[in-house]
Amino acid sequence: MIKCHLSKILGEKKLKISDVSRDTSINRGTITRLYNETATRVDLEVIDMLCSYLNISVGDLLEQEK
């Protein structure tokens, strides 16, 4: 299972889902699903844009749980 740390990262950076959506043009629903860890698939372009916007690596955003 893949764990998404978007909620923790946004909390640390004091950002809102609406801010990220507006600044990156990523659909708000997509960000919400990642935030709530209910996403079943995500485009690599979305992951790339989020990592660039938040100045983090993919490993900071996603983690494989065993």
Give yes or no for residue 52 having a pLDDT over 90.
Answer: yes
- Our count of domains for the chain comes to 1
Share of the chain above pLDDT 90, in %: 97
CATH of the domain at 27: 1.10.260.40
Is this prediction's pTM over 0.85? yes
How far is it, in rounded angstroms, from Cα 24 to Cα 19?
Answer: 8
Q: How confident is the model at residue 66 (pLDDT cuts 50, 70, 90)?
A: confident
Range of the domain at 53: 2-64
CA angle 50, 30, 14 (to 5 degrees): 50
Average pLDDT score over residue span 10-29: 97
Pairing mode of beta strands 62-64, 2-4: antiparallel
Is the pLDDT at 64 greater than 90? The verdict is yes
